[in-house]
Amino acid sequence: MAFNGRFVLNIAHLAARSGGDIKQLIELSGNSITALNEENCIVENENYNAVIEQAAEATQDNCFGLHAGENLNLSAAGLIVQMAQSSSTVKEALELCCQYANLGCSVLPLQLVEREDSYKIILSPNQLWKNSSEIAYQHTTAGVIAFTIKEFHSLTRMQHHPLKVKLNWPERRDRKEYERVYGCSVDFNSDEIAIFLKKEQVEEKVITSNYNLLKMLVAHAEELSALLKEDRGYSAVVKNSIIQLIKPEFPTIEEVAAHLNVSSRTLQRRLSDDNQTYKELIDELRKDFAIGYLKRPDLSISDIAYLLNYADNSAFTRSFKRWTGKTPVEYRNA
């Protein structure tokens, strides 16, 4: 029973963005950053539980695990590309998702099970680990479910959400936040932990073209995210959160506020202190993404419009001309 080092390192970094002490969290893992980055690094249960408990306390986020799983969505997109390319149906890709999850977190195995009218992904926690830390167990389970649902959402071209989720712990005051992240109703106090999915949606064929585009979105997002790390202003923090949540739809201000564990009003106020608005940040990011994409001859104007979540080419062209004074074709030719 143990956890993958990179899995733990990602959690530590996410906690650090919301007030956690990265050095303390790394120390609690019982490994160095270098060691955690190694492919075969293993973090024992006791150390992992200490990291989760400290992360939840330091961030003062009762939904830390839920938000961690939500935030890991974009980094999972690269994995989604690989799964989509090697799978003919969403079902096959989800089976790979379950296998991958088991590699990162062996004490919470996932299994896709076919039912008469639906499929469900069952999570079966190791009881010894569950009993060792209820806090770590609930945060981890909530996060793994969020991460898995985002994978399903991506595999179905951002069209489908689960039918419902069942959790086996008492109902929380933040039910609405769980339902926002999961995109469906949540049953607490259940006798199982499971994600229920519509049968025809799971049996859909995978359309790989969009995933090749999604792979490019991930690569470009990572480049922009790395550049933003040099800027420590609050606007840069918000921009980075927006990038992490692109799917390829740009997130709403409510989604970003929840990710940063603040209210929408607080986020707006802090951006105002930087003489920025949320709409302006989205506009700036769309421009940055568009210019980067236009440097790639393998991307059509339609591809770029899709990646930037425009309804059609003409809407993208109008925005780009407002930013640069040129149409996308004119800019690319120049």
Q: 231-259 burial, b if ≥16 CB within 10 A, otherwise e?
A: eeeebbbbbbbbbbbbbbebbebebbbbb
Q: pTM of the predicted model, to two decimals?
A: 0.65
Residue 12 has pLDDT above 50, yes or no: yes
Residue 59 has pLDDT above 60, yes or no: yes
Rounded CA separation 68/241 (Å): 12
Percent of the chain with pLDDT over 90: 49
Round the CA-based radius of gyration of the chain to a whole number and report it.
20
Segment among 17-31, 166-180, 278-292, 295-309 with least mean pLDDT: 295-309
Q: Is 178 exposed, middle or buried (0-12, 13-18, 19+ CB in 10 A)?
A: buried
215-227 mean pLDDT: 70
Give the domain ranges of the chain. 1-61, 63-207, 229-333
Q: What is the CATH number of domain 229-333?
A: 1.10.10.60
